[in-house]
Amino acid sequence: MFRGLFLKFGQQEHIEQLQKQGLIYCNTFEYFQKCENKEQHDPYENASEILKGKNCKLIIDGKEFEVDPESSIGIYKGNDPNCDYTNIFCTAAFSYDSKLVHNHNIYDPSLFDFGNTILVIHDIEIFISRMTEKLEDLKNKHLIDNYRANPVEYINMDSYEGTWGPFKKSDKFKHQLEWRLALKIPQQKEPFSFSIGSIEDISKTSPRQNCVNKVIQNPSGTYNLEI
């Protein structure tokens, strides 16, 4: 079980929906492949394999194109069981370690590019438990095929070649410290959402201008973000 804090950055309306209704909004991988926001755009989202341009040919509709030998190519395989997830929910995750406890600058301010409001989930164990219970119910009702949740592994793309998937990203995104939930939903081409009920008892929110980038320790021994 991941031990730490989840920080979700977004617009006030969406953050309130997450806190008051427990609305888990899972966008499509295709959205992140194509969106223009520099903090979200990633053409390699959920690729099955990363190959370098050296000794590679790119052929589209029978026409061959030159490939920069220093570039990376994401190979998408719909039949790869590790890469057929369709939707993801993302949040920043900060573990209980010395960096979290002692470093004043806990998160990168650029994360506010996602929106002007922050949600701090200070009891991750309860949050994940409620989410898992709902996901199991969705599986039993055949609304989703499967799900998986993990922190993202950040990879140096200069020399990497190998398998990819929904839990690997370029290290240019490493400041996001992302934890994500990935869903497999049959024939899903649109965002998918579900509710786990209010999480007001295990979270708090703040507008950007009131947020202090500093962790404080609770009497119980857990930690929270000073707001």
Burial level of 184, CB count in 10 A (0-12/13-18/19+)? middle
Residue with tokens 């009131």: 210
Residue with tokens 């949600």: 119
Give the DSSP H or E segment for 161: none
* Measured distance CA(146)–CA(185) in Å, rounded: 7
Beta bridge partners of residue 170, listed in sequence order: 155
Pairing of strands 87-95, 178-184: antiparallel
**Which pLDDT does position 158 carry in this prediction?**
83
Burial level of 164, CB count in 10 A (0-12/13-18/19+)? buried
Structural domain containing residue 220? 4-225
**Which pLDDT does position 70 carry in this prediction?**
52
**Which pLDDT does position 98 carry in this prediction?**
46
* Measured distance CA(25)–CA(10) in Å, rounded: 12
Three-class SS state of 17:
helix
Query: What total of structural domains would you count in the chain?
Result: 1
* Measured distance CA(120)–CA(224) in Å, rounded: 8
Ranges of the chain whose pLDDT falls below 50: 78, 98
Quick check: 25 and 14 in contact, CB under 8 A? Answer: yes
DSSP 69: T
Residues 48-107: pLDDT tens digits? 888 776 666 656 566 766 656 555 566 655 456 666 899 999 999 887 664 555 555 677
Three-class SS state of 102:
helix
Q: What tokens appear for 140 in the block?
A: 């039993």
* Measured distance CA(69)–CA(54) in Å, rounded: 4
**Which pLDDT does position 59 carry in this prediction?**
64
